[in-house]
Chain A
Amino acid sequence: MKRFIGFIKKEFYHIFRDRRSLFILFGMPIAQIMLFGFAITNEINNVDIAILDHSKDATTEEIINKIAASKYFSIKQIIEKEADIETIFKKGHVKAVLNFEKDFSKNLIKENKATVQIITDATDPNTANTISNFVNAILQKYQQELNKEITIAYQIIPETRMVYNPELKSVYMFVPGVMTIILMLVSAMMTSISITKEKELGTMEILLVSPLKPFQVIIGKVFPYIFLSIINAVVIVLLSIFIFKMPVQGSLLLLGLESVLFIISALALGILISTISATQQTAMMISLMGLMLPVILLSGFIFPITSMPFPLQVISNIIPAKWFIIIIKGIMLKGVGLQYVWKETLILLGMTVFFIALSIKKYKIRLE
């Protein structure tokens, strides 16, 4: 036991002696969460659009004014002919063109119907679809104003209640996601080189001949990093509460414990990578190339998992970050207790045990 404590102490010294790494370790996540918390949003604002108005009458002018007044769009250009649409789309700044038919007003009065095309640059299908929907909504509202006198019979009107995030803030979505990415990758990257470094620098033999048991070496390596990652997690949670006004509806204690569990799972995954790779370079490439995109794309951080094809929904289950995102959103935004997230917690716990057991086993093989 004394030897073990000595080993842990040594590992602590190693880490704290390297001031530069520590600065990077703590400075970067803070900078990232600040940057993303303020900058990233999947709302649509101030999209540049162009107008092609063949009619140029009072009604189209009114509609154009309404579009310009909305916070979603700013009118960047007025174009005169169809051929210009292609040109401006190819330059890439304007995302949509509203094309009003000839005699718009006249048609509206005479035939009760007039047509406008919403032409969008659908190379980005999401933005195109959203723009199309928003323009449509503005036109619908205008149409209702015109129809004010006519009472429309038989209507079911939805009374919609948005729960957990009534203002539809996208920061509620992104802060937990960014928090997860940072904790996951920083933790995994830290430990992924811990054993390979010893191998590469030739100090591994010393460790192997020491009387420390494999699991003691592994635990001793992970332990200081748990400490570091907890500090990181505390800083991130404080930033999200005080700067981004993220609510913590549920228990702060539970949030803390779940974060520790998630950190340990990521550190254990790092150790596992460390035991199977021969050089630091390999270890780091696995933890960066192998984890970064899957964690961003398959965790439900940006893209909804339920919309993915079935095989990918299955694969997403092996991403620890997916479960952690469900847990922290539950605790922070819904205010649920352990009785609602015990399943996710158990899965994370199971993964952690699995990673650690496998690392010890792999480590042993090299010992023989």
Chain B
Amino acid sequence: MKTILYIIQKEFKQIFRNKGMLPIIFVLPLLQLVILSNAATFEVKNIKFGYIDHDHTSTSRALIEKFNASTYFDVLTDFPSEKLASSEMLKGKVDVVIEIPHYFERDLQKEKYNKLGVTINAIDGAAAGVENVYVTQILQSFNQQIKTDLLQISDKGVQPISIATIPLFWYNKTLNYKTFMVPGILVLLVTMITLFLSGMNIVREKEIGTLEQINVTPIKKSQFIIGKLFPFWVIGMGLLTVGLTLAKLIFNVPMIGSLALLYLYTSIYILVILGIGLFISNFTDTQQQAMFIAWFFTVIFILMSGLFTPIESMPEWAQIVTEFNPIKYFVEVMRMVMLKGSGFTDILPQLIKTLLFAIVMNGLAVWSYKKTS
């Protein structure tokens, strides 16, 4: 026990002596949490909108005014020609263009019906879909308006059937992205810091040649590994604590569930990540190799975690892959406990899987460590 304490002490000293690393471990992640959480929003707003008005009547102007009044669209330009509009769209200066045809008002009165050309830049398919919904909504409300303006008595009579939908957004009434993204990004930062630090640590001793010195000392391997990894576990838990505090103070993220439960889960989760780090360390010769592999898994874990894109939409095989993604469970648990107040039994499946990963990963790491040394 004493030996472990000495190693832990030594490792802590080593971390705190390296003045270049301290800001990277403690300041950089928190700075990113505060800044980048604001970037992660799928909300589509400030859409660059242009129009081509061939009609120049009060109806066409009223329609454009409708778009102008909407908070989603930034009405930019009145394009004199279609050619200019598509050239501006190529440049990326405009994303949605409507083209009001000649005799728009006249035909609308005559036929009671008219068409409107809408062109949407669809490179970002999801955003284009949302933009399309916005355009349709504005047109629907415009239709209502002209109906009351233009409708003749003979048209009235039959009432159309309507199904009223009431959308209710539970746990996040205002659809505030930050309450979801702040805990998610905190998960990423805790994971990255603990994985990168532990992944590089032992291989560094290998590269510099000090690992051999340790191998000839009477220290047991288990003592050595626990002593090495414990400081990173502490750093991870510390980062979580400061991150949660910032989340509450700056972003006012709700914390409905039990914090103790969150800490219980995180304490096991970090063990999984440390196990992966140690495992990577054992199978690489240089810090660079270790970092490339750590980076490889981190990018996969992040993009397949369900934080940025929904897991349900992935193909079946990819969904099976995500079952082995620790970040996915951490994101789920954060979301469930903090925002919904899920209890111990609700997160039990995630907890058990994470515990299982911790045992398997650390078992593998210790086993392979013996093998390679």
Do A and B share a complex?
Answer: yes
Q: Which residues of A contact B (CB under 8 A)?
A: 18, 20-21, 24-25, 28, 31-32, 35-36, 38-48, 85, 89-92, 95, 108, 112-129, 132-133, 135-136, 139-140, 142-143, 146-147, 150, 152-170, 172-173, 178, 181, 185-186, 189-190, 193, 197, 200, 277-282, 284-286, 288-290, 292-294, 296-298, 302-304, 306-309, 312, 315-316, 326, 329-330, 333-334, 336, 340
A303 touches B41 (CB 8 A): yes
Cβ distance A329 to chain B, nearest Cβ, rounded Å: 6
B128 neighbours in A (Cβ, 8 Å): 162, 165, 168
- Cα A197 to Cα B112 in complex, Å, equals 76
Partner of A42, one of B112, B123, B286, B310: B310
B172 touches A125 (CB 8 A): yes
Contact A35 B300, CB 8 Å, known A150-B158, A302-B308, A308-B41: yes
Contact A159 B115, CB 8 Å, known A21-B288, A296-B302: yes
B309 touches A302 (CB 8 A): yes
A119 neighbours in B (Cβ, 8 Å): 168, 170
B46 neighbours in A (Cβ, 8 Å): 306-307
Interface membership of B225, Cβ < 8 A: no
18 A-B pairs in the complex with CB atoms less than 8 angstroms apart:
A36-B303, A40-B303, A89-B170, A91-B342, A92-B335, A108-B161, A117-B166, A117-B167, A123-B339, A125-B176, A126-B177, A139-B163, A161-B120, A173-B126, A193-B288, A288-B295, A303-B308, A308-B39
From 284 to 305 in chain B, residues with beta carbon under 8 angstroms from any chain A beta carbon are 284-289, 291-296, 298-300, 302-304
A129 neighbours in B (Cβ, 8 Å): 169, 175
B288 touches A284 (CB 8 A): yes
- Cα A353 to Cα B243 in complex, Å, equals 37
Cβ distance A291 to chain B, nearest Cβ, rounded Å: 10
Interface membership of B352, Cβ < 8 A: no
- Nearest CB in chain B to that of A142: its residue: B163
- Cα A326 to Cα B313 in complex, Å, equals 26
Contact A307 B43, CB 8 Å, known A125-B177, A150-B158, A158-B116: yes
- Nearest CB in chain B to that of A149: its residue: B158
Cβ distance A118 to chain B, nearest Cβ, rounded Å: 5
Interface membership of B92, Cβ < 8 A: yes
- Cα A170 to Cα B162 in complex, Å, equals 34
Interface membership of B237, Cβ < 8 A: no
A308 touches B165 (CB 8 A): no
A123 neighbours in B (Cβ, 8 Å): 171-172, 179-180, 335-336, 339-340
B163 touches A45 (CB 8 A): no
B310 touches A44 (CB 8 A): yes
- Nearest CB in chain A to that of B285: its residue: A20
- Nearest CB in chain B to that of A43: its residue: B313
Please name the 7 residue pairs, one residue from A and one from B, whose CB atoms are nearest each other, closest first. Answer: A168-B125, A39-B318, A122-B169, A162-B122, A122-B172, A125-B175, A126-B42
Cβ distance A254 to chain B, nearest Cβ, rounded Å: 15
A164 neighbours in B (Cβ, 8 Å): 121-123
A163 neighbours in B (Cβ, 8 Å): 86, 89, 119-122
Convert B82-108 into 0s and 1s, putting 1 for each residue whose CB lies closer than 8 angstroms to a CB of A. Answer: 000010011110000010000000001
- Nearest CB in chain A to that of B166: its residue: A117
- Nearest CB in chain B to that of A35: its residue: B300
Interface membership of B259, Cβ < 8 A: no
Chain A binder among B5-13, B145-153, B353-361: B145-153
Partner of B161, one of A113, A280, A281: A113
B114 neighbours in A (Cβ, 8 Å): 155-157
Cβ distance B322 to chain A, nearest Cβ, rounded Å: 9
Cβ distance A98 to chain B, nearest Cβ, rounded Å: 9
- Nearest CB in chain B to that of A85: its residue: B170
A304 touches B127 (CB 8 A): yes
B309 touches A168 (CB 8 A): no
- Cα A167 to Cα B346 in complex, Å, equals 39
Interface size on B, residues (CB 8 A): 126
Partner of A173, one of B125, B146, B158, B169: B125
Partner of B289, one of A21, A155, A278: A21
B125 touches A169 (CB 8 A): yes
Contact A282 B161, CB 8 Å, known A44-B310, A155-B143, A298-B39: no
Partner of B332, one of A47, A92, A294: A92
Contact A133 B116, CB 8 Å, known A120-B167, A288-B196, A302-B308: no
B43 touches A44 (CB 8 A): no
Partner of A45, one of B29, B313, B339: B313
A143 touches B161 (CB 8 A): yes
B125 touches A334 (CB 8 A): no
- Cα A128 to Cα B179 in complex, Å, equals 14
Partner of B196, one of A117, A125, A289, A333: A289
Cβ distance B338 to chain A, nearest Cβ, rounded Å: 9
Partner of B346, one of A41, A90, A147, A326: A90
Contact A115 B28, CB 8 Å, known A42-B313, A160-B118: no
Partner of B200, one of A118, A281, A316, A336: A281
Convert B334-354 into 0s and 1s, putting 1 for each residue whose CB lies closer than 8 angstroms to a CB of A. Answer: 011001111100100000000
Cβ distance B152 to chain A, nearest Cβ, rounded Å: 8
Contact A170 B116, CB 8 Å, known A108-B161, A113-B161, A113-B164: no
B21 neighbours in A (Cβ, 8 Å): 281-282, 285
B291 touches A286 (CB 8 A): no
- Cα A142 to Cα B368 in complex, Å, equals 61
Chain A binder among B134-142, B211-219, B269-277: B134-142
B120 touches A90 (CB 8 A): no
- Nearest CB in chain B to that of A185: its residue: B295
Contact A155 B112, CB 8 Å, known A123-B172, A129-B175: yes
- Cα A31 to Cα B304 in complex, Å, equals 14
Cβ distance A47 to chain B, nearest Cβ, rounded Å: 5
B116 touches A157 (CB 8 A): yes
Chain A binder among B30-38, B226-234, B244-252, B260-268: B30-38
Q: A18-B286, A143-B163, A163-B121 are in contact. List 12 more A-B contacts (CB 8 A).
A: A41-B309, A92-B342, A118-B165, A121-B170, A146-B161, A150-B158, A157-B113, A157-B139, A160-B118, A162-B122, A163-B119, A293-B192
B139 touches A158 (CB 8 A): yes
B208 neighbours in A (Cβ, 8 Å): 200
Contact A115 B39, CB 8 Å, known A121-B170, A173-B123: no
